[in-house]
Amino acid sequence: MTKKRIVFLSLSAALLAILLAGALFGQATQRQNIYTHLSIFSEVLDLVRSSYVDQVSSEQLMDGAFAGVTDAIDEFSYYVPPQDMGAYKTFVDIDDNGVGLVVTKRFGYAYVISAIPGSPAHKAGVERGDFIEKINGTPTQKMAVWQVRQALSVDRPIRMQVLRGGQSRREEMTFARANYHPVHVESKSYGNVAYIQIPYFEKGIAAEFRTALAEVRKRGTKKLIVDVRGNAGGDVEEAIAAADELLTSGLITAQEGRKVEEKRWQADRETSFDGEVQVLTDGSTTSGAEVFAAAVRDNKRGRIVGVNTYGKSIVQRFIPLSSGGGVHMTVAHYVTPELKPIKERGIKPDVTVDLTTQALRDDESPKAKEDLILKKALALFGEEAPAAVVEKKAA
């Protein structure tokens, strides 16, 4: 397929996606508008089929249009054509793919939301914000997001070509699936401040958090930092239970959607820690970690320090279609205690830390890199930050 044809078909599919999204997903509120959009869609389809320089099958155009509809909804929804259902049935869409990468698609490429701490990808040096150009030689531009995730789930070494923000050269990384669970809570102290990192909300994490809080209380510490940076998946119920360990009342979160039963989670009266709390967030804080941070902040239990979270506290389902294909789409979302959806723009911190000075990186040599978010949180508690650490590049 020529470059010109690819561009034309992409623009056509995008136009069709917009038209279908307006007609099929409630953006056109009146029947006349729906008929108008469908009429335009039909006209554009006929024009492409009759006048485009090369003959294009209706199936190819419609598959592109349907995929465009899900792209217009959110970056986590996708369409699976009938011809791909055989491969899709062998795929399980979960955050943990065996290598520890939580990925989506941005600007046509696979994009890393987070590399789960302790995972093979994390140890290999993959970082939040990396763009994956190729997986085992295949360009990710040619993959749907589920195909990217499937490619990361294979039982053989994975070779990735990565483009990192602020760098001009590409990096080659190779790693393989490995069992890195369970992922544990990490605790330490900085002077009179207790620090607990929750890297991932898997089963048992809330109980580990409760135990860590008991140790903090036993030491008589009244200042606590909870770090959920990089926490990008897992079990939302565990996040809710962890938040409840810090609360004595109030709404933790609720699940809302037009076609799903509404659920609400209220805090009980017991708490494992009654001192001051700060929660650290970054752009890879997603899902249950966002629920946790919002519950602490909006119930006036503590402050959020860092940068905006990603905005991915959602519930998704795969819906089979009569055509033999299907749509994996968002059917509900979690809300803050103030009943605001946790999606798209994420959670804005109370204290925003400017990280622009660290945006550009040196390609050649590692540099001392301060943890500016932790430094700010400690300063707010009147404590000095730890010495800067040197970034080590993956071998």
- How far apart CA 15 and CA 105 sit, in angstroms, is 19
With 0-12 / 13-18 / 19 or more C-beta atoms within 10 angstroms meaning exposed / middle / buried, residue 136 is middle
For the chain, the first-to-last Cα distance in angstroms comes to 39
Cα–Cα distance measured from residue 323 to residue 326, given in angstroms and rounded to the nearest whole number: 8
pLDDT of residue 373: 96
Backbone angles phi, psi at 115, to 5 degrees: -105, 115
Q: Please state which of the ranges 37-41, 233-237, 328-332 shows the lowest mean pLDDT.
A: 37-41
Can you give the pLDDT at residue 388? Answer: 62
**The domain made up of 97-175 is a member of CATH 2.30.42.10:** yes
Q: List, in order, residues 6 or more apart from 53 with CB less than 8 Å away.
A: 4, 5
97-101, 127-131, 180-184, 372-376: the lowest-pLDDT one: 97-101
Distance CA 299, CA 252 (A): 8
Predicted local distance difference test score (pLDDT) of residue 194? 98
Residues 225-236 have a mean pLDDT of 95
| pLDDT above 70 (res 5) | no
Higher-pLDDT residue of 77 and 366 is 77
Chain CA centroid to CA 261, Å: 24
Give the residue, 259 or 42, on which the prediction is more confident.
259
Please, which pLDDT band fits residue 154 given cuts at 50, 70 and 90? confident
Task: Of 158-172, 295-309, 379-393, give the range with the top mean pLDDT.
Answer: 295-309
C-alpha 46/C-alpha 12 separation (Å) is: 12
Provide the token pair at 266. 């209220």
**Fold of the 186-315+331-390 domain:** 2-enoyl-CoA Hydratase; Chain A, domain 1 (3.90.226)
- Confidence category of residue 334, pLDDT binned at 50, 70, 90: very high
Average per-residue pLDDT in the chain?
A: 86
Nearest Cα residue to 160 out of 168, 147, 145, 148: 148
- Percent of the chain with pLDDT strictly greater than 70: 84
Question: Distance between CA 265 and CA 175 in Å, rounded?
Answer: 40
Give the list of residues 6+ apart from residue 156 with CB closer than 8 angstroms, or none: 176
> What stretches of 129-223 show up as alpha helix (H) in DSSP?
145-151, 205-218
Q: What residues are paired with 132 via a beta bridge?
A: 110, 162
Q: Predicted confidence band at 29 (pLDDT cuts at 50, 70, 90)? A: low
In this structure, the strands spanning 326-335 and 314-320 are antiparallel
**Greater model confidence, 173 or 38:** 173
Q: Residue 46 corresponds to which tokens in the numbers above?
A: 């006929």
DSSP 82-139: GGGHHHHTT----S--SS-EEEEEETTEEEEEEE-TTSHHHHHT--TT-EEEEETTEE
Joined tokens for residue 120: 């093979």
Structure token digits, residue 119: 């995972």
Question: Mean per-residue pLDDT for 23-49?
Answer: 67
Nearest to 52 by CA among 64, 62, 40, 44: 44
More confident residue, 72 or 216: 216
Residues 41-97: tens digit of each pLDDT? 778 778 877 887 777 777 777 777 777 778 778 889 999 999 999 999 888 766 666
- Would the pLDDT of 390 be above 60? no
Question: Residue 139 — very low, low, confident or very high, per pLDDT cuts 50/70/90?
Answer: very high
**pLDDT interval class at 33 (50, 70, 90):** confident
Domain residue ranges of the chain, discontinuous segments joined by +: 3-73, 97-175, 186-315+331-390
Between 343 and 81, where is the model more confident? 81
The whole-model pTM stands at 0.84
Query: Mind listing the pLDDT tens digit for each residue in 156-196?
Result: 999 999 998 666 678 999 999 888 989 999 999 999 999 99
Give CA 361 to chain center in angstroms: 23
Distances (CA, A) of 207 to 25, 125, 201, 222, 238: 41, 30, 11, 20, 9
Considering only CA atoms, which of 1, 131, 137, 130 is closest in space to residue 64?
1
35: enclosing H helix or E strand: helix 31-51
Other CB atoms within 10 A of residue 165 CB = 12
For residue 249, pLDDT beyond 80:
yes
Arithmetic mean of pLDDT, 242-256: 98
Average pLDDT over residues 281-310: 97
